[in-house]
Amino acid sequence: MNYRHSFHAGNSADVVKHSLLIALVRALQQKESALTLIDTHSGCGIYDLEGEEAGRTGEAAQGVVRAFADANPLLDDYRAAVRAVNEGAEPRLYPGSPRFLAQLLRPQDGLILNEKHPEDAYALRGAMRDTPAAVHERDAYELWLAMVPTRTPRGVVVVDPPYEQTDERAKITATLAAAHRKWAHGVTVVWYPLKERSNHAQWKHKLRRLGIPKFLCVEHWLYDTDQPGIYNGAGLFIINPPYAFTQALPPMLEALRAALAPEGHRGTLTAQWLDG
């Protein structure tokens, strides 16, 4: 599955991913000690929802547009973060994960971004020029291992690849295992698209065999049954989520599910420990 950020900006997966990233980082910031936030596949940083690539798919209509039309206050932080890069009330520009993370920085925190694609890396530097972010142009998996453990007492690694390569999941599995050996207490977030339940179950089985404790699996299935050959939803693997985040998660997930459910479908948005 090819999942370049620019084609899918502001879709339902982005709404869930970015809402939960905000909640996760803020839960970690309940402690004063510094955080290093690392995004291994940063993309362009900001996207024009009326541009050629996002306009070709029109997926924002089922994502950020629905989130803005919903009245649930649990989505207020997400909407505020999107509004921060827009002049008008309705979103035309959509912030990628780097811009969401930059908005969350405290003076003691740091932000490390990485994008291997040369054109996207150039765009990323422009999008982040008003922030203190350090931008790299390296292999994502090499950077992931090189940057952990973080220099600050705590950190978060966000792994959000386009899944263009057939071995992407194998690379994630191997790098996650190696990174956990170096940085067992670190927080890691891995985003993934969902296409077929059977194939995804096989990957989860391989990840379960790594024996990593505190491995949370958040899955958003948009449709009540698999729709063959299309994108069916997305999920997040979260290693070592803080207690404050997991306690606040159920009502947030229900708010997101309700806001994003396609017409005629209820869908599911659940969180379960991988060893459960």
* Phi and psi angles of residue 81, each rounded to the nearest 5 degrees, phi first: -70, -35
Q: Are 237 and 192 in contact (CB under 8 A)?
A: yes
Q: At what angle do helices 197-208 and 168-182 cross, to 10 degrees?
A: 30
The answer to whether residues 39 and 158 touch, using CB atoms and an 8 Å cutoff, is yes
Residue carrying structure tokens 């705590």:
154
3-state secondary structure (DSSP) of residue 181: helix
Which sequence positions are flagged as catalytic?
160
Tokens read off for 225: 């049954």
CB of 42 closer than 8 Å to CB of 54: no
End-to-end CA distance of the chain, in Å? 28
